[in-house]
Amino acid sequence: MASAPIEQECVEGYVYVAAPFRLLILRRPPSRDRIWVPVSGKVEGTDRDYPSALRRDLQEETGFTDVRRLCSLDWEVSFEGPNGARWRLHAFGVEVPAPWPPILSAEHEAFAWVSAAEAKARLHYPDNQRAVDRLLERAGGAHPPSDGN
């Protein structure tokens, strides 16, 4: 049996500083269960590709635009969105020069710059925890490859 077609593409970004390694995680407000998540959002018709969608979401959710390096984690997760629609998430590592206090959008109420272990302990979804492992594999000791964006 064929699976349902993907109705919505999404992106998520694991924003990090390389040395010492720290990850940015965001906490959703009570209306969205107060869970910890990475930067994420839907790909819109005006986005030319997944990296540009992620850069837009990064700016919307944190006010930040100074990306040092963006790399695909070659990580896609399909899941059930609203009304049973199939959504697909594309994950990226987003290296930034230094931790900064983000300007949070209404989508989040708090932020934290944490170690990879702490991020994995706080992140709500198991696929987020696995994506952190992929990021560590890619970023371990050296800079991850750039997607050229």
Q: What is the mean pLDDT of each run of 10 residues along the chain (149 residues)?
A: 79 94 96 94 96 96 93 90 89 95 95 97 93 89 41
* Alpha-carbon gap, residue 57 to 37, rounded angstroms: 13
Task: Give which of 83, 85, 86, 75 is closest to 38, Cα–Cα.
Answer: 75
Residue 81 lies inside a defined structural domain of this protein: yes
Q: From CA 75, how far away is CA 133, in angstroms rounded? A: 11
pTM (2 d.p.): 0.88
The torsion angles phi and psi of 135, rounded to 5 degrees, stand at -60, -45
Q: What is the pLDDT of residue 146?
A: 41
Range of the domain at 21: 6-139
User: Residue 146 falls within a domain, yes or no?
Assistant: no
CATH number assigned to the domain comprising residue 79: 3.90.79.10
Q: Is 149 domain-assigned?
A: no
Question: How is residue 40 written in tokens?
Answer: 């994420």
Assess if residue 144 is contained within a domain: no
The candidate with the shortest Cα–Cα distance to 131, out of 13, 40, 2, 44, is: 13
Residue 140 is predicted with a pLDDT of 65
Task: Give me the amino acid identity at 61.
Answer: E
The answer to whether position 147 is within a domain reads no
Residue pair 22/114 in contact by the 8 Å Cβ criterion: yes
Structurally, the chain folds into a number of domains equal to 1
Kindly state the tokens that stand for 18: 């390389």
pLDDT (0 to 100) of residue 75: 84
Give the C-alpha separation, 91 to 14, whole Å.
Answer: 8
In DSSP terms, 69 is beta-bridged to 95
Structure-block tokens of residue 148 = 């050229």
- Beta bridge partner(s), residue 9: 88
Output the pLDDT for position 141: 43
Count H helices, E strands: the chain? 3, 7
